[in-house]
């Protein structure tokens, strides 16, 4: 018979779902799995499959967010210090593709003649669409004629041009002849060894006012929150302009892996891993000459606010004034009203201060920089620096208030506040209630992508890197990805379906599957260690796998530097210990033998006696060095041992 407990005691007991969630997190399993129904078309067998949610935020699912962070780190590591060009030239076309392209040319010419004669071209349009689809199925990238079909919608109108003349307050930036190289420069060392270093660069926004150590402004009333909001919204365009200017100035196809993060003052800054080296003088010139002009209509006059807002007119699909019924200016009309001598609405620039560091492949700095790049990828921009004081919370509130009515894009609803109909208008738009991410507190004005990767960084997409990890796992477990040739239908199970499983049941299935394959992976690694230890020769790393330069079985996609290979191949010798090891010290502080630490344990009394004898010997040596000290030491020893000097 169990003892009676009170309600307060029972409420303190852990919930079953919390316990299952804790176990799932302990094993690295997804805590928000998606249930899919797998139906075999051959046997009509139905199987319930749990797939990870795949989120990138630790606040939603820590396990999936950590896997995505590790995947980004692998992508950064693989493309940072390449020794060969990562991209391959497109292959030649085959005869079938050439035949389809010739047939497409004949149909397009016949279509032009039919349109000029005013004839019906419906049949020709269908044939052209079929051939274009077949070309895509054969592996042809791109569109043969972008001005036709769905790919050319909106491309036939006249494009609006702005003057490309540089501003008078920006220095000239001469360009060089472009080379298609993406690799960095090789530097010879004093010992004849060749090095190909890369760079880690940090760029920030300009100052909007003095701030304290916690990022809050000294004088909030004079802090330029409007410019901070403008720069945050257009920061991605400024970074694109910086990359363009950098490539034109150095004459190389510079490759980068960049991550956007907020500073404590809530202004965005970018960390960039660049392949190759660029001098600080060149970087300073490029930063001084880089700017982005925002040619948007002016927003200095507020025309509609509060209850006095434009209304939607269904017949014309436009917004009108609620009192006069006049149409608001369209987005194209507002842009056409900007004259040649008018100034841009805002000019975005980088700050004068920047940081640039050289990084060698396989060094400790490279791992540190990669960890720094991917540190905050599991958090939203607004969650990177949690406000811990009233001043910080007030700073965040003022920044969000500055972004509330700031237009974030041509289709933003805030344009109605200034008498301009946004681009592609629709009913229900209200100023101050735009659904864009830039207005949310968790984004702090920056609505672009957090990770910016150039096309030739590693020669692979993120899906390719994920496929490499999956291929390594299947190869380690001895499985084949193509051994099941059945035909299946995949459907997502919704709460309204009869076979929908509760959340705790889904978590239990995920934990069981995770434990099963982790056990299989550990067993495969154990067999690999036994096989490696049975080999008579060869270099092995700390996990027991065979190690060779340029390859790593323990880390898929990770290249072992040649220097690390030679360090592993060098025989390890143990230096003799002159003093006993004190009890309780860490094993990592002492020499290693065969990859395992050597720890010598001594009783505490013996260790204390040893320290006392060492102190006494040192005192005797000091005393003997003084005038007449030798006789005093001899008398002290005789009195302690009972012998005559």
Residues 511-525 have a mean pLDDT of: 90
Convert the pLDDT of each residue in 305-323 to its tens digit: 888 899 999 989 999 999 8
470 and 438, same structural domain?
no
Residue 593 scores a pLDDT above 60: no
Among the listed residues 493, 358, 618, the one whose alpha carbon sits nearest the alpha carbon of residue 46: 493
Evaluate whether residue 279 is within a structural domain.
yes
Task: Specify if 626 maps to a domain.
Answer: no
Note whether 410 and 484 are same-domain residues: no
Cα dist from 598 to 524, 544, 570, 575, whole Å: 28, 19, 19, 11
Identify the residue with better confidence: 348 or 602: 348
Helix, strand, coil in percent for the chain, rounding step 5 = 40, 10, 50
Question: Are 270 and 229 members of one domain?
Answer: yes
Phi, psi of 534 (to 5 degrees): -80, -10
pLDDT at 331 over 60: yes
Q: In the structure encoding, which two tokens stand for residue 205, read together?
A: 């926004």
Q: Is residue 182's pLDDT more than 50?
A: yes
Beta strand ranges found along 263-350 (DSSP E): 268-274, 292-294, 311-313, 318-320, 346-348
Is the C-alpha dihedral spanning 277, 281, 282, 284 positive or negative?
Answer: positive
Q: Please give the pLDDT value at position 491.
A: 92
Q: How far is CA 493 from CA 51, 304, 490, 644, in A?
A: 12, 47, 10, 96
Q: Name the β-bridge partners of 327.
A: 320
Among candidate residues 400, 424, 453, the one where a domain is terminated: 453
Q: How far is CA 398 from CA 124, 229, 266, 343, 598, in A?
A: 59, 10, 11, 27, 58
pLDDT tens column, 341-382: 888 999 999 998 999 999 998 889 999 999 999 999 999 998
Stretch 26-48: mean pLDDT, rounded? Answer: 91
pLDDT given for residue 569 in this prediction: 39
Domain that holds residue 484: 33-80+460-560
Report how many domains make up the chain.
Answer: 2
Q: Running DSSP on this structure, what letter comes out for residue 550? A: T
- State the helix-helix crossing angle for 604-624 and 629-641, rounded to 10 degrees: 150
Q: Are residues 366 and 481 in the same domain?
A: no
pLDDT of residue 189: 83
Answer with the one of 434, 453, 472 that is the final residue of a domain. Answer: 453
Residue 624 lies in a domain: no
pLDDT at 274: 94
Angstrom CA distances, 25 to 121, 286, 470, stand at: 60, 46, 21
User: In 3-state terms, what secondary structure has residue 247?
Assistant: helix
3-state secondary structure labels for all residues of 569-608: HCCCCCCCCCCCCCCCCCHHHCCEECCEECCCCCCHHHHH
pLDDT band at 270 (very low <50, low <70, confident <90, very high): very high
Greatest Cα-to-Cα distance within the chain, rounded to the nearest angstrom: 132
What confidence score (pLDDT) does residue 188 get? 87
CA distance linking residue 396 with residue 405, whole number of Å:
16
* 27 in Cβ contact with 522 (< 8 Å): no
Q: Where are the beta strands (DSSP E) in 463-531?
A: 488-492
Residue 218 pLDDT greater than 60, yes or no: yes
On whether both 275 and 303 belong to a single domain, the answer is yes
Q: Evaluate whether 186 touches 363 at the Cβ level (below 8 Å).
A: no
Q: Which residue from 173, 188, 167 is spatially nearest to 245, judged by alpha carbons?
A: 173
Q: What is the mean pLDDT of residues 55-66?
A: 93
Could you say which of 560, 580, 610 is where a domain stops?
Answer: 560
| Domain match, 385 and 490 both | no
What pLDDT score was predicted for residue 567?
A: 41
**Is residue 301 in a domain?**
yes
- The dihedral over CA atoms of 282, 283, 284, 286, expressed in degrees to the nearest 10, equals 90
- Least confident range of 167-171, 201-205, 213-217, 371-375: 167-171
Q: How is 160-191 classified by DSSP, letter by letter? A: P----PPPTTS------------SPPPEE-TT
Please check whether residues 447 and 310 belong to one and the same domain.
Answer: yes
Q: DSSP characters for 374-426?
A: TTTTTS-GGGSS---SHHHHHHHHHHHHHHHSS--STT-GGGGGGTBPPSS--
Give the percent of the chain with pLDDT over 70. 79
The DSSP secondary-structure symbol of 643 reads -
pLDDT in tens, 276-308: 999 999 999 999 999 999 999 999 889 998 888
412 and 311 share a domain? yes
> Would residue 471 count as lying in a domain?
yes
> Among the listed ranges 85-99, 138-152, 571-585, 620-634, which one has the minimum average pLDDT value?
571-585
Q: Is residue 5 domain-resident?
A: no
Question: Is the distance from CB of 242 to CB of 354 less than 8 angstroms?
Answer: no
Q: How far apart are alpha carbons 550 and 437 in whole angstroms?
A: 43
Convert the pLDDT of each residue in 435-488 to its tens digit.
999 999 999 999 889 999 999 998 888 898 998 988 888 888 887 776 667 788
| Domain identity same for 326 and 347 | yes
Torsion angle, alpha carbons of 459, 461, 466, 470, to 10: -50
Q: Which residues pair with 335 in a beta bridge?
A: none
Is there a single domain that holds both residue 246 and residue 365? yes
Structural domain includes residue 607: no
Residues 308 and 205 grouped into a single domain: yes
Same domain, 356 and 293: yes
- The answer to whether 152 and 165 are in contact (CB under 8 A) is no
Q: Is residue 102 part of a domain?
A: no
Token duo for residue 248: 């034109």
Please give the pLDDT value at position 627: 52
- List, for residues 224-249, the tens digit of each pLDDT value: 999 999 999 999 999 999 999 999 99
At 161 the pLDDT is 65
Distance CA 68, CA 532 (A): 31
**Three-class SS state of 248:** helix
Distance from C-alpha of 636 to C-alpha of 118, rounded to nearest angstrom: 124
């Amino acid at each position: 018979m169990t003892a009676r407990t009170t309600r307060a005691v029972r409420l303190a007991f852990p919930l079953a779902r919390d316990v299952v969630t804790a176990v799932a997190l302990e094993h690295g399993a997804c805590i928000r799995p998606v249930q899919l129904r797998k139906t075999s078309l051959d046997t009509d067998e139905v199987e319930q499959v749990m797939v990870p949610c795949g989120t990138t935020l630790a606040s939603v699912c820590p396990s999936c967010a950590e896997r995505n962070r590790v995947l980004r780190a692998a992508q950064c590591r693989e493309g940072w210090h390449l020794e060969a060009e990562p991209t391959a030239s497109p292959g030649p076309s085959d005869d079938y593709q050439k035949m389809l392209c010739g047939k497409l040319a004949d149909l397009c010419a016949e279509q032009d003649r039919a349109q000029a004669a005013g004839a019906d071209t419906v049949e020709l349009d269908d044939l052209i669409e079929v051939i274009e689809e077949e070309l895509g199925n054969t592996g042809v990238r791109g569109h043969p004629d972008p001005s036709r079909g769905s790919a050319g919608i909106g491309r036939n109108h006249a494009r609006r041009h702005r003057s490309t003349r540089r501003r008078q307050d920006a220095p000239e930036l001469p360009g060089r002849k472009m080379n298609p190289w993406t690799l960095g420069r090789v530097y010879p060392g004093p010992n004849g060894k060749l090095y190909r270093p890369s760079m880690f660069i940090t760029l920030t926004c300009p100052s909007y006012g003095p701030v304290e150590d916690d990022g809050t402004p000294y004088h909030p009333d004079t802090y330029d929150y409007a410019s901070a909001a403008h720069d945050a919204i257009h920061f991605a365009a400024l970074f694109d302009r910086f990359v363009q200017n950098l490539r034109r100035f150095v004459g190389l196809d510079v490759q980068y892996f960049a991550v956007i993060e907020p500073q404590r003052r809530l202004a965005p800054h970018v960390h960039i891993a660049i392949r190759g080296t660029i001098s600080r003088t060149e970087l300073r010139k490029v930063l001084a000459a880089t700017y982005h002009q925002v040619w948007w209509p002016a927003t200095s006059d507020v025309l509609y606010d509060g209850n006095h807002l434009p209304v939607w007119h269904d017949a014309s699909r436009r917004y009108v004034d609620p009192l006069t019924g006049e149409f608001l200016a369209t987005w194209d009309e507002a842009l056409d009203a900007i004259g040649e001598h008018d100034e841009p609405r805002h000019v975005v620039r980088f700050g004068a201060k920047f940081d640039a560091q050289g990084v060698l492949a396989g060094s400790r700095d490279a791992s540190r920089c990669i960890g720094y790049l991917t540190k905050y990828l599991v958090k939203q921009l607004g969650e990177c620096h949690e406000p811990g004081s009233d001043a910080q919370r007030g700073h965040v509130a003022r920044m969000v208030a500055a972004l509330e009515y700031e237009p974030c894009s041509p289709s933003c609803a805030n344009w109605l506040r200034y008498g301009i109909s946004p681009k592609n208008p629709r009913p229900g738009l209200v100023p101050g209630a735009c659904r864009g991410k830039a207005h949310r507190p968790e984004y702090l004005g920056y609505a672009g992508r957090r990770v910016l990767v150039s096309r030739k960084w590693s020669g692979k997409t993120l899906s390719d890197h994920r496929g490499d990890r999956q291929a390594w796992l299947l190869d380690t477990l001895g499985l084949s990805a193509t051994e099941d040739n059945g035909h299946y239908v995949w459907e997502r199970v919704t709460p309204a379906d009869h076979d929908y499983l509760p959340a705790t049941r889904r978590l239990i299935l995920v934990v069981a599957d995770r434990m099963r394959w982790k056990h299989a992976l550990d067993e495969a690694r154990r067999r690999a260690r036994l096989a490696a230890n049975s080999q008579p020769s060869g270099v092995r790393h700390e996990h027991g796998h065979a190690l060779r330069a340029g390859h790593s079985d323990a880390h898929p996609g990770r290249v072992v530097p040649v220097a690390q290979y030679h360090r592993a191949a060098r025989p390890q010798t143990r230096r003799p210990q002159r003093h006993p090891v004190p009890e309780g010290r860490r094993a990592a502080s002492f020499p290693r033998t065969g990859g395992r630490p050597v720890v010598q344990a001594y009783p505490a009394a013996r260790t204390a006696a040893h320290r006392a004898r060492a102190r006494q010997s040192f005192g005797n040596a000091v005393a003997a060095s003084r005038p007449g000290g030798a006789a005093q030491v001899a008398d002290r020893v005789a009195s302690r041992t009972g012998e005559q000097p």
